[in-house]
Amino acid sequence: MAKKENKSKKRKGTSKTAEIDGNVEFTFHFPEAMNVYVAGNFNSWDTQSLLMKKDEDGTWRSKVKLLPGRYEYKLFADNGWIEDLPDSETVFNPFGTKNFIISVK
């Protein structure tokens, strides 16, 4: 990550990724959030460029076109990094926290 880590959130939510029609869909169930972004090495860790949209049940969604490969990402909700997503593959980053991993085939 090129950017300095902002404050982290220990809030738990559920998240998943899926490949749909050549796009990767990120989903994150966190009804109380006011805004959620996806930031990763595919968008230079920009915490404001990939806004997720919230549906009626409180699930946030965003689709991204990604070429096959392995990507690191995090969710940025209400001005803080989301650190804990159950059943997510992770890797340590230079800031001592973890990034989530997605492999696109």
How confident is the model over 54-84, as pLDDT tens digits?
Answer: 999 999 999 999 999 999 999 999 999 998 8
- CB atoms near residue 102 (< 10 Å): 20
CA neighbours closer than 13 Å in the CB half-sphere of residue 52: 30
Confidence of residue 18 (pLDDT cuts 50, 70, 90): low
Contact 28, 13 (CB under 8 A): yes
More confident residue, 20 or 101: 101
As a whole number of angstroms, the distance between CA 5 and CA 22 comes to 31
Structure tokens at 51: 């806004």
Instruction: State how many domains the chain has.
Output: 1
Which single residue is written with the structure tokens 């973890």? 98
Whether 1 is covered by a domain: the verdict is: no
Residue 76 maps to which CATH number?
A: 2.60.40.10
The alpha-carbon radius of gyration of the chain (Å, integer) is 13
Structure tokens at 39: 């930031």
Tell me which residue range forms the domain holding 79.
8-104
- Is 88 a residue whose pLDDT tops 80? yes
